[in-house]
Chains A and B, each alone.
Chain A
Amino acid sequence: MSGKASRWLTAFTIATYLFLFAPIVVLIVFSFNDSRRSFTWQGFTLQWYEKLLANTDMLNALKVTMEVAAIAVVGATILGSLLGLGLARLRFRGSGAVQTLLLLPIMTPEIIMGISLLVFFSQLFGLNGSVGQIALAHITFCISYVAITVRARAASLDPRLEEAARDLGASAVGAFRHVTLPLLAPAIAAGAMLAFALSFDDLVVTSFNTGVGSTTLPVQIYSGIRFGVTPQINAISSIIVAVVSIALLIAWRLGAFRTAARAVIADPEGA
């Protein structure tokens, strides 16, 4: 077998990459197109971005989205990091059950999580959707991703580092604060970035827990799409793609994908 790929195989691979990226490119290009209806290029314009800045519905939705994401990131990062650290450090009775509990929200179809929270909030508490309700839901589906990212990193830390600090007279809190936490920081930050990307982007779970005055951007976009395509949606979508890509790029630089991939693929017993 020669070391060179057949031309067909190479062409097929390139075509697949084009297939993966072409729609996103089309989306961004047409957000600058100077035509409301036509899907042929009519010239460059920034008017859709200007109109977007004057669109109060969209701006309110952006505000709600950022509020939800802020709460979700803080909540999921604290709870998920503690959970990940605990699972990596300690083998205890029931840790298998906790691992399963952690995987279940990832395995459950989003729509099921959405309707179960809707039933939960409305039947038990009579709530009809609010920023707080959406944020609670987002924390719930973000915890697992943060915990898995942090656990992979924590499991790779040498406990002797912390023991050495203790031997040199550090308190338990001091050793954790000055040795373990700085080593975990990249994974915690990566988990927070993943949580942000997931929360900022969520449509399905949110759409069941949204109420009057708590419409998020994806929900606003979804209802916009159902009424027809407008270049403003292209503009806001391009902005979201940019924001989420930056968050993911930071997460990648911090090692989120590497640790997550290792957790799922190379360390099956741990995952």
Chain B
Amino acid sequence: MTTAEAPAELDGVTAPPREAVARRSGSAATSILVLPGVLWLVAFFLVPLAIMAVVSVGSVDPAGHITLANPGLGNYTHALDPEFIPALLRSIWYATATTILSLGIGYPVAYWISRYGGRHKVLLLILVMLPFWTSYLIRTYAWVMILRDNGVLNSLLLDSGLIDEPIPILNTDVSVILGMTYGFLPYAILPLFVSIDRLDFSMVQAARDLYASGRGAFLHVTLPLTMPGIIAAGLLTFIPALGDFVTPSVLGGAQTTTIAKLVQTIFTAGRDWPYGSALGFLLMGVTIVGTLIALRSLRREVIGASA
């Protein structure tokens, strides 16, 4: 991103020389500055995860209390039960469809902003990001009003005479995937924009001069050169979509249960917490690994571009 690359001179401050930073190493002030925040994150982030890990190998006794009398990995193997696999497959299907749609919609938009946005590029990107920061729940809820049987969309279609009966859209796979695509599209557009904006378009011009068709130049030059951005955008969409429970709950029904929704039900309905914890860790494992890959590919792209 051109704007982001501009170093910190924006406010009349320049980046410090590296030696100046290194020289301060080992100062006693380090611990005073960093310690409270680190201790907080250890106490209220890592310790709760550790407790959850302990609980996940436990079980529930007849009185309903969590017990560690017979610790084991039973909850994790129990996760292969019929309840879990369909929810996992459904989560993956929703996340995959959302990712493909987000890339398909996001790529042309990112391309347009980069190539034709001119001096409004930053504003156009901020417009993409704004709805993303304004309440995920409320934006999802807005789709309920649009998609329900007597909602905005069906009213419009009925009034225009295109349909005679309202089309049921809410509480289906379609509404969940639509809601997720709406929610996670900005995650896709930003990294796509970064990689397209870095592309040297004289390469595309060269391909055209060598008699490549517009389509050929796009497929053999533009697309491969922006592939790191596509991968990053895909993972940054896929990961949160996989762990989302707001969309399947608000726009979905009983038959749109995802892993996250399953975990939520297990906990709020006061059922088997050890089992729920195990499911949570399985979800978290997939998510963390995916995010690390996304960050790594994003970094490689940046380093490759600046080299």
Chain A interface (Cβ within 8 Å of chain B)?
1, 4-5, 9-10, 12-13, 16-17, 19-24, 26-27, 30, 37-40, 78-80, 82-83, 85-87, 89-92, 98, 101-105, 107-113, 115-120, 123-124, 136-137, 139-140, 143, 147, 155-160, 183, 197, 201, 203-204, 207-208, 218, 221-222, 225, 229, 233-234, 237, 240-241, 244-245, 248, 252, 255, 257-258, 261-262, 264-266, 268-269
Do most interface residues of chain A lie in helix, strand or loop, or is the interface mixed?
helix
Residues of B within 8 A of A261 (CB): 1, 3-4
Which residues of chain A are within 8 angstroms of B238 by Cβ–Cβ distance?
none
In whole angstroms, how far apart are the Cα atoms of A158 and B21 in the complex?
Answer: 9
7 A-B residue pairs with CB within 8 Å? A23-B139, A23-B182, A91-B22, A98-B38, A119-B48, A155-B16, A201-B135
CB interface residues, B 38-74, toward A, < 8 Å:
38, 40-42, 44-49, 51-52, 55, 66
Pick the contact of A23: B4, B115, B143, B185 (CB < 8 A): B143
Residues of B contacting A124 in the complex (Cβ-Cβ under 8 angstroms) = 51
- Which chain B residues border A234 with CB–CB below 8 Å? 145
Return the contact of B243 from the options A110, A157, A265 (Cβ within 8 A).
A110
| A155–B15 touching, CB < 8 Å | yes
Chain B, interface size: which category?
35 or more
CA distance A39 to B66 in the complex (A): 48
Closest chain B CB from A266 CB (angstroms): 4
How far is B52's CA from A80's CA once the two chains are assembled, in angstroms? Answer: 25
Which residues of chain A come closer than 8 Å to B155, judged between CB atoms?
39-40
Q: Are A108 and B38 in contact, with the CB atoms below 8 A?
A: no
Smallest distance from the beta carbon of A69 to chain B beta carbons, Å? 14
Whether B112 pairs with A13 at a CB distance below 8 angstroms is: yes
Give chain A residues whose Cβ lies under 8 Å from the Cβ of B47: 120
Chain B facing A: main interface SS: helix
With A24-B134, A91-B25, A221-B141 in contact, do A115 and B267 touch (Cβ < 8 Å)?
A: yes
Known contacts A109-B260, A109-B284, A156-B8, A39 near B152 by CB under 8 Å: yes
| A197 (CB) vs chain B CBs: closest residue | B133
Closest to A22 in B: B146
Q: Please, which residues of chain A bring their CB within 8 A of the CB of B38?
A: 83, 98, 101
Which one of A40, A86, A159 lies within 8 Å of B20 (CB-CB)? A159
* Contacts A82-B36, A222-B137; A10 near B116 (Cβ below 8 A): yes
Chain B neighbourhood of A17, CB < 8 A:
127
Do A80 and B141 contact each other (CB < 8 Å), given the known contacts A108-B284, A119-B51, A258-B4?
Answer: no
Residue contact B273 to A119, C-beta cutoff 8 Å: yes
Question: Is the beta-carbon distance between A160 and B20 smaller than 8 angstroms?
Answer: yes
CB contact list, B105-140 vs A, under 8 A: 105, 108-109, 111-113, 115-116, 126-131, 133-139
When distances are taken between beta carbons in the complex, the residues of chain B under 8 Å from A92 are: 25-26, 30, 34
* A16 proximity list for chain B (CB < 8 A): 105, 109, 185
CB of A241 to closest CB in B, whole Å: 5
* Residue of B129, B137, B143, B185 touching A257 (CB-CB under 8 A): B129
Chain B residues at the A interface, C-beta cutoff of 8 Å: 1, 3-5, 7-8, 10-11, 13-16, 20-22, 24-27, 29-30, 33-34, 36-38, 40-42, 44-49, 51-52, 55, 66, 105, 108-109, 111-113, 115-116, 126-131, 133-139, 141-146, 148, 150-152, 155, 159, 182, 185-186, 194, 201, 204-205, 208, 214, 240, 242-243, 245-246, 250, 260, 263-264, 267-268, 273, 276-277, 280-281, 283-284, 287-288, 291-292, 295, 298-299, 302-303
Q: Is the CB of B151 within 8 A of A39?
A: yes
Which of B148, B185, B208 interacts with A20 by CB under 8 Å? B185
Given A117-B48, A120-B47, do A225 and B22 touch, yes or no (CB 8 Å)?
A: no
**B33, A89: Cβ atoms under 8 Å?**
yes
Would you call A101 and B41 a contact (CB within 8 A)?
yes
Contact with B51, one of A24, A105, A120, A158 (Cβ below 8 angstroms): A120
Check if B250 sits within 8 Å of A111, measured CB to CB: no
Contacting residue for B145 out of A4, A26, A78, A264, CB 8 A: A26
**Are A268 and B302 interface neighbours, CB within 8 A?**
yes
